[in-house]
């Protein structure tokens, strides 16, 4: 499988890993040694999917991904990307010890291929469950050291602790895993926390990368598969280190706000706001936090570039953000800042909107109609320009033509 290869010393793009540039990272990486820290090419990579306090929504989102799809990762049909062996509790055909064996091999360093750990759901304090004689979330059994001869369930957080040091990357998927999410909301009876809170800020994978965070509740599946594909290309030694922001999010996916790509942003700009669900205007007054939330669902869609919160009529509740849910609740209530920005938009809109309608009416007519006075549309009678429309457009057209040769219309 593997061909030994020197780590590259330069990359086509500058990245950022925990405050160091790609060049600094490459120097540090080159100073390390050992099979665990080398880049590929590799024929295959194992992906271990661990689940904590989760609803499985992240898994559902990911199997719906299309760009790239899970199938293309599993079959190795993406050029340059190694075949992915996915170990997932719900998708795996094997069960019992046959399922668990690769986990054990990975912790013993006997897998014979690099691996990535993906964690879905937040991490609860298992000692609270143990005190009640149970567990919150676990995968597989092993002998209980406290009671020889008896089996105990192994919490998925324990697997994470064991496997993270040897992983090429640890990827937290979904807001529960990235920031704690719903289980860690106010009250938090299970003392739940995120993967990075659990592993600590000093955690680094064998590639020197802190926990990679792909948030969302549920996340956009394509955001996850694209990030994994980018990491795998990097692991192969043929792609640049993907750029992450200060929160460990793929920077190219989370740098913009929802609002900037929202299909309703034009309504916001004109100060037209929905009064109730189902209205077509901007949803800020019925509880949309889009102007301050980092999320790309408005441009990428939920699945196969279709859907996405505002596209289907739902206001943004900030589900990708570290402050979610406590700093965005109560949901479906206008954010306080709306008073200032919404009032400003209404003021501007009350002036700009009528002017735009005049130009819209004017542009919605053939020049010949106004020249001959004959409208040829059999569908109805498009409103003719009013006296005010004509008046405004005498000045408007003069300005429009002032720096062009198109003076004939």
Q: Interface residues with ligand SF4 (CB under 6 A)?
A: 216, 258-259, 262, 264-265, 268, 282-284, 288, 290-291, 293, 295, 297, 309-310, 316-320
Rounded Cα distance, 101 and 5, in Å: 29
Minimum CB separation of residue 215 from ligand SF4 in Å reads 8
Nearer to ligand SF4, 244 or 328 (CB): 328
Minimum CB separation of residue 196 from ligand SF4 in Å reads 19
Give the CA count within 13 Å in the CB-facing half-sphere of 316. Answer: 32
| Residue 318 buriedness (CB in 10 A; 0-12 / 13-18 / 19+) | buried
Among 129, 169, 175, 168, CA closest to 152: 129
Q: What backbone torsions phi and psi does residue 268 show, to the nearest 5 degrees?
A: -60, -45
Nearer to ligand SF4, 170 or 258 (CB): 258
Query: In 238-270, which positions are buried (b, 16+ CB within 10 angstroms) versus exposed (e)?
Result: ebbbbbbeeebbbebbbeebbbebbebbebbeb
Question: Residue 359 in contact with residue 396, Cβ under 8 Å?
Answer: yes
Minimum CB separation of residue 321 from ligand SF4 in Å reads 7
Minimum CB separation of residue 281 from ligand SF4 in Å reads 8
Minimum CB separation of residue 338 from ligand SF4 in Å reads 8
Minimum CB separation of residue 147 from ligand SF4 in Å reads 45
Three-state DSSP state, 115: strand
Nearer to ligand SF4, 15 or 315 (CB): 315
Minimum CB separation of residue 342 from ligand SF4 in Å reads 9
Q: What single DSSP character describes residue 244?
A: B
- Give the C-alpha distances (Å, rounded to integers) separating 97 from 100, 312, 397: 5, 44, 78
* Region at 121 (left for phi over 0; alpha for psi -120 to 50; beta for the rest): left
Minimum CB separation of residue 211 from ligand SF4 in Å reads 20
Minimum CB separation of residue 300 from ligand SF4 in Å reads 10
Rounded Cα distance, 176 and 184, in Å: 8
Q: Nearest to ligand SF4 by Cβ — which residue?
A: 290
Minimum CB separation of residue 121 from ligand SF4 in Å reads 17
Nearer to ligand SF4, 228 or 297 (CB): 297
Rounded Cα distance, 12 and 2, in Å: 24
Nearer to ligand SF4, 239 or 325 (CB): 325
Nearer to ligand SF4, 121 or 216 (CB): 216
Nearer to ligand SF4, 100 or 282 (CB): 282
Question: Residue 80 in contact with residue 236, Cβ under 8 Å?
Answer: yes
Q: To 10 degrees, the CA torsion angle through 307, 309, 310, 314?
A: 120
Nearer to ligand SF4, 130 or 251 (CB): 251
DSSP string, 146-192: TSTT-EEEEEHHHHHHHHGGG-SEEEEESHHHHH-TGGGSTT-TT--
Q: In what order do the strands lie in the sheet with 169-173?
A: 83-88, 44-51, 115-120, 169-173, 212-214
Nearer to ligand SF4, 17 or 319 (CB): 319
Nearer to ligand SF4, 69 or 294 (CB): 294
């Amino acid at each position: 499988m593997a061909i030994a290869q020197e780590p590259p010393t330069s990359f086509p793009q500058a990245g950022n890993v925990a405050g160091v540039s790609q060049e600094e990272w490459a120097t540090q990486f080159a100073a390390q040694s050992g099979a665990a820290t080398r880049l590929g090419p590799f024929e295959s990579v194992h992906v271990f999917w661990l689940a904590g306090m989760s609803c499985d929504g992240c898994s559902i989102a990911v199997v719906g991904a299309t760009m790239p799809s899970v199938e293309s990762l599993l079959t190795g049909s993406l050029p340059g990307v190694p075949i992915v062996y996915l170990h997932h509790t719900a998708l795996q055909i094997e069960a019992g010890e046959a399922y668990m064996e690769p986990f054990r091999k990975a912790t013993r360093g006997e897998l014979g291929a690099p691996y990535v750990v993906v964690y879905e759901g937040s991490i609860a304090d298992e000692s609270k469950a143990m005190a009640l004689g149970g567990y919150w979330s676990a995968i597989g059994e092993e002998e209980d050291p406290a009671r020889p001869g008896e089996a105990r369930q192994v919490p998925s957080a324990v697997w994470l602790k064991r496997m993270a040091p040897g992983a090429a990357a640890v990827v937290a998927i979904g807001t529960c895993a990235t920031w704690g999410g719903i289980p860690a909301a106010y009250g938090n009876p299970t003392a739940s926390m995120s993967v990075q809170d659990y592993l600590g800020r000093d955690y680094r994978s064998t590639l020197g990368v802190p926990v990679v965070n792909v948030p969302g509740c549920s996340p956009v599946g394509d955001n996850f598969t694209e990030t994994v594909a980018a990491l795998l290309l990097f692991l192969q030694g043929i792609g640049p280190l993907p750029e992450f922001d200060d929160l460990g999010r793929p920077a190219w996916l989370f740098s913009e706000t929802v609002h900037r790509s929202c299909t309703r942003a034009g309504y916001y700009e004109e100060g037209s706001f929905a009064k109730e669900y189902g209205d077509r205007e901007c949803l800020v007054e019925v509880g949309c936090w889009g102007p301050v939330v980092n999320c790309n669902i408005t441009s990428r869609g939920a699945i196969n570039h279709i859907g996405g919160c505002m596209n289907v009529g739902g206001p943004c509740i900030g589900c990708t953000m570290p402050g979610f849910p406590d700093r965005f609740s109560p949901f479906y209530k206008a954010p306080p800042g709306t008073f200032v920005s919404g009032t400003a938009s209404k003021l501007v809109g009350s002036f700009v909107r009528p002017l735009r309608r005049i130009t819209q009416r004017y542009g919605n007519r053939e020049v010949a109609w106004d020249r001959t006075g004959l409208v040829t549309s059999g569908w109805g009678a498009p409103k003719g320009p009013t006296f005010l429309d004509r008046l405004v457009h005498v000045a408007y057209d003069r300005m429009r033509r002032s720096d062009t040769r198109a003076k004939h219309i």
